[in-house]
Structure 1
Amino acid sequence: MQVVNGSKVMLMASQGLHQGDGPITKNSSVSAASTRKASNAKEAQTQKLDTNISKIRPERWKATGIIALSDSSLKAVPEEVWGCGSSIRVLDVSNNCIEAIPQEVAALKSLQKLILTANDIADGNISWEGLTCVQTLVTLPSSLGSMTHLRELCIANNRLENLPVEIGLLKHLEILIANNNRITSLPSSIGGCESLNEVDLSSNLLAELPEAFGNLRHLKALSVRNNGLTSLPSAFFMKCSQLITLDLHGTEITNDVLRQVDGWEEFDERRRKKHQKQLDFRVGSSGVFDEGADDDYRRL
């Protein structure tokens, strides 16, 4: 009976060792080493894959000329972007958390379209010197006057507080989109943008427009809704004789005030003709004529 019991005890001990309750056996050590080896191999494979991707992605960018990195949770433009140099025509890094555009942007000499909408770019965090090296830019959230080929400036949905004085040197600028910023004033030099035909400055902190705004003789559409404006530049309607669309909703300027401004009748006739044409062709019109500003009773 003792031997039998001893055998049972030894059997239980053996089972315990097999289940890992006792000392590590030789087989267990081999198994652990195999696991580590497999893990290291997987890690090495992952690193190799990441390396290949980091090589393939710039090659694809260079081949297409397009870098599309919108909605990528970026806090900065990846360094590999600048390495693509003059091969890049379009860079889209919109809807990220990017805070600055560094000097390295100068490497993208053939850039034609730069989209930085909806980032955290603040004043002073854009390398103007770098951007001046981009001579063929046509769409850009911000720029300097030496960008003589610039046609469209898009700086919407950022935290900019002003526009550079050099903007007045952009003689060929046709579209300025700067809504949803913190712009408190505009430089009088903006009057030098003689080709501007569309301007959107809505949802900013503007208290007035400079008198030089009247120099924009080709201006056809102006939106300054949701600002602190109380008046328009003198002779604005007289000078901006091509203006058709004006949005002053959410400002201190009412329709009654507008009707007292010289040149109102001519402007009103132009926009009514446009509205009627839209109705005739059923293009972009709800059928309700928008007066362009709020009525006094709506503000009460």
Structure 2
Amino acid sequence: MSRLRRVPGRDPRAGFRAEGRDCTTSVPQGLLKAARKSGQLNLSGRNLSEVPQCVWRINVDIPEEANQNLSFSSTERWWEQTDLTKLIISNNKLQSLTDDLRLLPALTVLDIHDNQLTSLPSAIKDLENLQKLNVSHNKLKMLPEEIAYLKNLKGLYLQHNELTCIPEGFEQLSNLEDLDLSSNCLSIVPASFSSLLSLIRLNLSSNQLKSLPAEISRMKKLKHLDCNSNLLETIPPELAGMESLELLYLRRNKLRFLPEFPSCRLLKELHVGENQIEMLGAEHLKHLNSILVLDLRDNKLKSVPDEITLLQSLERLDLSNNDISSLPCSLGNLHLKFLALEGNPLRTIRREIINKGTQEVLKYLRSKIKDDGPNQSGSVAETAMTLPSESRVNIHAIVALKILDYSDKQATLIPDEVFDAIKNNIITSVNFSKNYFCFRIVELKEMVSDVNLSFNKLSSISLELCMLQKLTFLDLRNNFLNSLPEEMKLLIRLQTINLSFNRFKMLPEVLYCISTLETILISNNQVGSVDAQKMRMMENLTTLDLQNNDLLQIPPELGNCVNLRNLLLDGNPFRVPRAAILMKGTAAILEYLRDRIPT
């Protein structure tokens, strides 16, 4: 009978005491009874100022119902029921925990985040089976040395406390895989951290670190390192030897140089925005073979090297708020899904092109490569055709770039001559932005993959659009739309849709049905809710921009959308997550939401 096995330091007669009366109001008997069967007890958000004795003694005392019933069915044999393995007492008002904690030696999960704890009891060492300990959002000033006894601990969450140092022996947590020390008062990371050889994720953001120990490179399994919002001026060159590193966050520090990463072959995301980096050279880029996201915003870069084309896997590049005056045309050969250039004194590319978005910028840069090529000849008269409407169509763009650009004409319809101009040519991209017409596009249904209908004052979408089965990119921003037709689910290749600056009050239901979607941009609308359960089924979705909407609350279940790399929520009236969480980025937001999912 595992329930009655002897626990060191307790009265052997304790098992025959009746449960204390302190539980009758704070913890319903039915909840305790269910916990004895499931091994799990959730007391989150019950306004508790202390943990009732009956909780500590749930596997020690005879349950009250046993004193009232002398015959037991198979489901009521309390002496055969399981020990408590998971205890959640988060979101309460606990200021301390007693040594009675040792009465629950079978615990594998202890979650006490969002309380007012200033310390942990030394009895924590008796929880030898503990695998996950969440003490985040408390007031801990130090950790007990006894925490080193938790040899089976895999996840330790200490973010948002007041820790100034790490206790000796901490490196003995040899099975630790996930460690969050963010938002504390740490000024030093001990070199002994290098002994945490099982560590996969390490979050040190929002501390007061001026340096990292070179020994950190010994963590050969580390995949995710977050050092955002510290005082780092340099990064130890040994960091480049971390072969398993996939995500590295160094935002909001004092870095003046971008580190080189010759051994980080698996690095997928590098975030070094909001530093003081002045130069980006080939030596900084040549080893980033697997990089998907490169964040260089808010630095002092003056140029981008041609070697940027070495980053053939790059999907997101943020260069906003630097001192860049020109871009290499070769940048257009990258397969970027997102390129941010705002806040740069660019002279070689017109503002109106930048405002049209990533794909337009890339097409423009590609066109400049061709225009500057050795075989380029002909005058404007040979590369443009004058139509009866006195509008011009760029034949060179049609033939060489497969682009039909009939934008900014303020037209109410597209002349037939425009479609005559593209006969016998394959068109993959259409730009009809800044007009006033209900578009006509059915002639292109067999080939077009990229459509721009922004700034058209559209109040509805023609079903013609739903016939474009090769469509991958759709720009509908700055219109008067408040709904999308259900027939859009036929767009089985759509990857990116831009619905910003419209009149949507909810995320269009049809979007949940388009499984290929990777990017949804729906900022600056009136969206009041999202269906987190349906969104979780969108396995390809990596970017969701919900900025400047009317979201009063963010569903915690959104935290389960683990494929999201970019979740933008600024400018909404919700109270949680707090601004400090939003500033830490998508991974921190998702973790915060997951921690608040009711169990």
Residue 144 of structure 1 and its aligned partner are, at CA, apart by 2.0
Larger Rg: 1
The amino acid of 2:138's aligned partner reads: N
In structure 2, the residue matched to 1:260 is 281
> Does structure 2 retain, via aligned residues, the 8 Å contact 1:87–1:110?
yes
Residue 197 of structure 1 and its aligned partner are, at CA, apart by 0.7
Normalising by the residue count of structure 1, what TM-score does the alignment of the two structures yield? 0.67
Secondary structure of 1:63 counterpart: coil
2:543 to 285, 290, 296: 285
- Once the two structures are aligned, what percentage of the paired residues are identical? 21
- Asked if residue 217 in structure 1 is aligned to residue 243 in structure 2, the reply is yes
Secondary structure of 1:250 counterpart: coil
Q: 1:87-236 to 2 correspondence within 5 Å?
A: 87-122=106-141, 125-128=142-145, 130-141=146-157, 144-233=170-259, 236=260
Q: Which has the higher helix share?
A: 1
Secondary structure of 2:133 counterpart: strand
The separation in 1 between residues aligned to 2:245 and 2:58, in whole angstroms, is 40
Structure with the greater relative contact order (CA < 8 A, sep ≥ 6): 1 or 2?
A: 1
Question: Residues 231 and 69 from structure 1, CA distance in 2 versus in 1: closer, same or farther, beyond 3 angstroms?
Answer: farther
Residue 126 of structure 1 and its aligned partner are, at CA, apart by 1.1
Secondary structure of 2:291 counterpart: helix
> Does structure 1 retain, via aligned residues, the 8 Å contact 2:183–2:206?
yes
> Does structure 1 retain, via aligned residues, the 8 Å contact 2:134–2:157?
yes
The amino acid of 1:186's aligned partner reads: L
The separation in 1 between residues aligned to 2:234 and 2:544, in whole angstroms, is 31
The separation in 2 between residues aligned to 1:277 and 1:250, in whole angstroms, is 22
The amino acid of 2:272's aligned partner reads: L
The separation in 1 between residues aligned to 2:289 and 2:276, in whole angstroms, is 19
> Does structure 1 retain, via aligned residues, the 8 Å contact 2:194–2:217?
yes
In structure 2, the residue matched to 1:237 is 261
The separation in 2 between residues aligned to 1:101 and 1:208, in whole angstroms, is 35
The separation in 2 between residues aligned to 1:75 and 1:162, in whole angstroms, is 27
Residue 101 of structure 1 and its aligned partner are, at CA, apart by 3.2
Residue 263 of structure 1 and its aligned partner are, at CA, apart by 4.5
- Runs of 4+ off more than 6 Å: none
> Does structure 1 retain, via aligned residues, the 8 Å contact 2:57–2:103?
no
The separation in 2 between residues aligned to 1:196 and 1:170, in whole angstroms, is 10
> Does structure 2 retain, via aligned residues, the 8 Å contact 1:65–1:90?
yes
Secondary structure of 1:239 counterpart: coil
The separation in 1 between residues aligned to 2:138 and 2:258, in whole angstroms, is 31
In structure 1, the residue matched to 2:55 is 57
Unpaired runs of 5+ residues, structure 1, are 1-47, 291-300
Provide the aligned length of Structure 1 versus Structure 2: 234
Secondary structure of 1:222 counterpart: strand
> Does structure 1 retain, via aligned residues, the 8 Å contact 2:258–2:284?
no
Question: Residues 227 and 101 from structure 1, CA distance in 2 versus in 1: closer, same or farther, beyond 3 angstroms?
Answer: farther
CA RMSD, Structure 1 to Structure 2 (Å): 3.1
Secondary structure of 2:261 counterpart: helix
Residue 281 of structure 1 and its aligned partner are, at CA, apart by 5.4
Per-residue CA deviations over 1:42-80 (Å, capped at 9, x if unaligned) read xxxxxx631666332124588331221222123333443
- Asked if residue 273 in structure 1 is aligned to residue 245 in structure 2, the reply is no
Secondary structure of 2:202 counterpart: strand
> Does structure 1 retain, via aligned residues, the 8 Å contact 2:263–2:287?
no
Question: Residues 270 and 160 from structure 1, CA distance in 2 versus in 1: closer, same or farther, beyond 3 angstroms?
Answer: closer
